[in-house]
């Protein structure tokens, strides 16, 4: 399904498959793209970079993530990321415990028509699904 950052998202593990323990996705992000700064209040997250170059913000820290990089994001930590490469980047991300709201956020975003997508839809669906709490702008705007 299409994701909010200009690529495709594939579920690798969902709540129903992991007895509520883990949600895992593989996603592709277009150059320059990334989500708004956000927080997972009830889940820890990890990101494992497969292809491309990413920049991540965890609280006040900026990190570079080349292929093979693994980043752990404790619940409650404001974070975001951006594809800083010239081509699409790819990574695996997961949250634990599994989060049905997180899963529904991506399902519902992927079902939107092209003209309904964008940051306002991201913020609305994040709130409606209780998936994440948006607390700031994307990294491209906050730290260009």
- How many angstroms separate the most distant Cα atoms in the chain? 40
Q: Which of 3-7, 18-22, 23-27, 100-104 is least confident?
A: 3-7
Query: ∠61-142-49 over CA atoms, to 5°?
Result: 55
Query: DSSP for 47-68?
Result: EEEEES-EEEEETTEEEEE-TT
- Contact between residue 42 and residue 77 where contact means Cβ atoms under 8 Å apart: no
Give the pLDDT confidence score for residue 22 in this predicted structure. Answer: 97
Bridge partner list, 57: 62, 80
Q: pLDDT confidence of 25, banded at 50, 70, 90?
A: very high
pLDDT digits (tens, 9 = 90+) for 104-131: 999 999 999 999 999 999 999 999 999 9
- Contact between residue 101 and residue 133 where contact means Cβ atoms under 8 Å apart: no
This prediction has a pTM of 0.93
pLDDT digits (tens, 9 = 90+) for 29-60: 999 999 999 999 999 999 999 999 999 999 99
User: What is the C-alpha to C-alpha distance for residues 144 and 141, in angstroms, rounded to an integer?
Assistant: 6
Domains in the chain, ordered, with CATH? 9-138 (2.60.120.10)
Given a cut of 80, is residue 144 above it in pLDDT? Answer: no
Q: Closest by alpha carbon to 104, among 87, 84, 125, 90? A: 125
């Amino acid at each position: 399904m299409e994701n909010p950052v200009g690529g495709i998202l594939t579920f690798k593990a969902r709540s129903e498959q992991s007895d509520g323990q883990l949600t895992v996705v593989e996603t592709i992000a277009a150059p320059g793209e990334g989500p708004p700064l956000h927080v997972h209040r009830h889940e820890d997250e990890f990101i494992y970079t497969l292809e491309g170059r990413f920049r991540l913000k965890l609280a006040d820290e900026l990190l570079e993530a080349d292929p093979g990089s693994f980043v752990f994001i404790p619940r409650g930590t404001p974070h975001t990321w951006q594809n800083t490469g010239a081509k699409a980047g790819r990574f695996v991300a997961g949250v634990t415990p599994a989060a049905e709201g997180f899963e529904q956020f991506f399902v519902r975003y992927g079902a939107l028509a092209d003209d309904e997508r964008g940051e306002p839809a991201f913020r609305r669906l994040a709130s409606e699904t209780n998936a994440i709490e948006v607390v700031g702008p994307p990294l491209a705007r906050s730290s260009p």
